[in-house]
Chain A
């Protein structure tokens, strides 16, 4: 005869087991992410797309890239928000899209030290055939610089948290100092605290 104590124990054990179960799933990397109001993957992708779309259709840029592929370098994006955001990943996405558009070329300032080491190896180690070694002093100088900043305004009360992000990107001609193009993307995210789904 099963008594009520045993039934309760079985239910308790099942409850503990189901609470402990975990699962891992792959998801769509482009899906909208709204876990919280912090800067997320959807924000990053929206910013990169907006910047690239705007830059590629700006008439002077269209004219400039019709016959040649100007060389750019990416300076850092200033983070003026209160969050820790990896803004290099935003500029990496922008850089990748611009290269793949076939309109621009880039020099990678983050790889300068590695390139120098490779040059030293090719020219000073005695291990590399001189005829095949990359020649020094023949790198191409960047014509334009991409840089910008990211700002945010956060407001909250007992029920609501409102976050406003503004990302600004500029393309400056190095020789003349003229800003040839500037783009902006604004994002607003609001989080409401609800009780019992009301």
Chain B
């Protein structure tokens, strides 16, 4: 009976460990969020903050999603651009990803997302400017 309990316990620990590994590996650490944003001015940095981000592999392509919060009471208009990098830090698919306009009303949060241009992309950054 004791052996059975031990067996179940080991199995449960093993399953928990596996699931944490599968879902946790790709997510960026909260402390690392600021490194993912490139603010192009002090003004935009004071108005906008990155409150959450998620990333996953869809097939073999990296898909990212970023929550941006307007810290002001007033509506803000700005532009953002996603940039993807391969494992060696080279930018992937440099052509044609535009500075997309975005409007966020006061104190609201909006999610923006993008998919990597090809499977070699493993890292990303989001640039924001006025």
What residues make up the interface of A, taking CB atoms closer than 8 Å to B?
A: 28-32, 41-42, 45-46, 48-49, 52-53, 56-57, 62, 65-66, 93, 96-97, 100-102
Contacts and interface: CB of A to CB of B under 8 A. Distances in A.
B90 interface: no
Contact of A45 (B59, B61, B63, B97): B97
A101 B79 contact: no
B58 interface: yes
A56 B99 contact: no
A31 B80 CA distance: 10
Interface in B73-97: 79, 81, 93, 95-97
Given A49-B96, A100-B118, A32 B79 contact: yes
B96 A57 contact: no
Nearest to A48: B96
A27 to B, nearest CB: 12
A30 B98 CA distance: 4
A148 B100 CA distance: 23
B96 A53 contact: no
B79 A66 contact: no
A46 B59 CA distance: 23
A56 B96 contact: no
A42 B115 contact: no
B117 A101 contact: yes
Give the size range of B's interface with the partner: 20 to 34
Most chain B CB within 10 A, of A30, A42, A96, A97, is at A30
Given A32-B98, A41-B98, 20 more contacts: A30-B96, A30-B97, A30-B98, A30-B99, A31-B98, A42-B98, A42-B100, A46-B100, A49-B96, A49-B114, A52-B115, A52-B117, A56-B58, A56-B115, A57-B58, A57-B61, A57-B63, A96-B96, A100-B118, A101-B61
Given A30-B98, A42-B98, A45-B98, A102 B58 contact: no
16 contacts: A28-B99, A30-B99, A42-B101, A45-B97, A48-B96, A52-B117, A53-B113, A56-B58, A56-B59, A62-B58, A66-B59, A93-B96, A97-B93, A97-B96, A97-B117, A102-B118
Contacts of B115: 52-53, 56-57
B106 interface: no
B24 interface: no
A30 B101 contact: no
A30 B81 contact: yes
B58 A101 contact: no
A66 B119 CA distance: 12
Contacts of B117: 52, 97, 100-101
